[in-house]
A and B are shown apart, each in its own frame.
Chain A
């Protein structure tokens, strides 16, 4: 059974940083591209960042470039998202999501974690 478990969220100060983690199980993690998608309270879904299966290519939403670093550790079956210079508008549930097909990047997301809440407030 595929499982994705996010962690690392919480109440954070504006200007601070956070590192989110997503631990995967139930599939060959190193064969699938992964993404982060966020959802502000009461709002829609927004793709934030993604990384290729090998980890060699990383992609970011234009509005967030420069503040994000996505990475993965296949030895730990874990996906990471480092966010810097946090702003109130970064307040959201952050989901990790698995690509439907192996090795491709552009694709549907067939499994999602339960999300981790990031609240940026002083």
Chain B
């Protein structure tokens, strides 16, 4: 099983809403990531959790708040977003063994109105 599952697949929210994106993996990976991706661009790293602790925060605005409740789950809480935050949000996890491969979820396509 090499699956990273993200929900929801699509999300439309207003600038005053609060919503959450969810990500789950059962591969035993201990590093989990949130990326933001605009059309035809590479993924931009937002956050990395390693062993359930936040290890990298790429100076992301505080309206994005990550949470790692356990080794299988990763959430991204959204509040007071701006229209420019509309993008595909990708979750990923990494095999910390010998292969060092990053596995991606299918993403949540977010539209902020």
User: Does A pair with B?
Assistant: no
Give B residues with C-beta under 8 Å from A.
none
Give A residues with C-beta under 8 Å from B.
none
